[in-house]
Amino acid sequence: MRFLDEISVSGKRVLMRVDYNVPLKGDVIVDDNRIKQSLPTLQLALDQGASLVLCSHLGRPKGEPVPEFSLKPVAKHLSTLLGREVLMAPDCIGPEVLAMAQSLESGQVLLLENLRFHAGETKNDPDFSQALAALAEVYVNDAFGASHRAHASVVGVTEFMDVCCGGLLLKKEWQYLGQALKDPARPFVAIIGGAKVSSKLGILRALMDKVDSMIVGGAMANTFRKAQGFEVGTSLVEDDLLEDAMNIMVEARQKGVKFYLPVDFILGDNPKGGIASGVRTYQDIPAGEMILDTGPASHTLFSEVIRDAQTVIWNGPLGAFENPAFAQGSINLCRVVAAISGLTILGGGDTNVIVEQLKLADKFSFISTGGGSFLEFLEGKELPAFVALEKKS
């Protein structure tokens, strides 16, 4: 795979796929991490005298224009970050957009409207792909977060452009995640949280052959404790995956992987409740209560596992962290991981939010911009966007 720092785009018009799928409240960007992560790639191309046509999706408009998913707030914010005007296109394809792209001068930036306002994007439609390709001479994919989807802007467009490469952010993801899996410094600890075992089965199994220790938290830990025969009250649990959970624990034991679950929990009536109702050990959960966070004994246990680690991969919170009453487990974990001297890699939207809230981003070796891409890469799956770029190298 080629990357932008290996080719010249001097005087060229560049179509760059970025991941500006950022959280909005009205027209205010809540977290601009993904936009900031793209700036080195944009600046490298601009410094060479290229003009940029940026494309991204935002939300799930399902193939039709939806005003609240417009990228206009992103164009305004990006103008501030770049210190130069970012023009906003009325659409992502069509005669008017083509004319705007072709009139760009060196150093100018045009942001296309939401790709997913057209059904052709998610369908990887050849006509839509060709229309995107007509906007520029060089294609750069810097959207790791969208690289696990076989969509037009990450796969189909490469069929209609001669020069295609990855951006600096894509290269960074490739190098850090690849390094962590290929030759990790040890001890190697994986921390997997979140709500559902079903969404993490692949990564749990894939990492089983690579890590020394595995910590499982969040609501998915409930399924593992129930598989062991313990009461979990009214907590979120996946009864159809009890056997899978047990098999994972058996496999860990057979492979010599140390497998850790929370040993105590903070309980409540529901995730949106104002206060916690108490702390109980995993053997003593009342039938009418809900597990909503990990407790202090779990924090002590996990800290002991993590503190000497030389490689840590973390995906997913340990509780219903959106509610401050049930955020302490995730906050404690974040601080512990941030304090170690080894390689620390984290990914997933919820995980990133925790780090940003605590202002600890600079304490981690690498924060992936991918959610699904992050998980699939760690599972060892081929990402469609990577395959597409490799074909053009």
* Active site positions, annotated: 34, 196, 349, 372
Which residues touch 227 (CB under 8 Å, ≥6 apart)? 242, 243, 245, 246, 249
Q: 3-class DSSP state for residue 284?
A: coil
290-294 sheet: strands from edge to edge: 278-281, 264-268, 290-294
| Alpha carbons 205 and 241: distance in angstroms, whole number | 14
Q: What is the DSSP letter of 159?
A: G
- Rounded to whole angstroms, the maximal C-alpha distance in the chain is 69
First to last CA, the chain: 5
- Residue 268: count other Cβ atoms within 10 Å of its Cβ: 23
Of 5, 63, 9, 35, nearest in space to 145 by CA: 35
Bridge partner list, 51: 13
Structure tokens at 270: 């529901």
**CA distances, 222 to each of 89, 126, 353, 359 (Å):** 48, 45, 23, 30
CB hemisphere CA count around 101 (13 angstroms): 29
As a whole number of angstroms, the distance between CA 24 and CA 8 comes to 35
What is the Cα–Cα distance from 136 to 227, expressed in whole angstroms?
Answer: 55
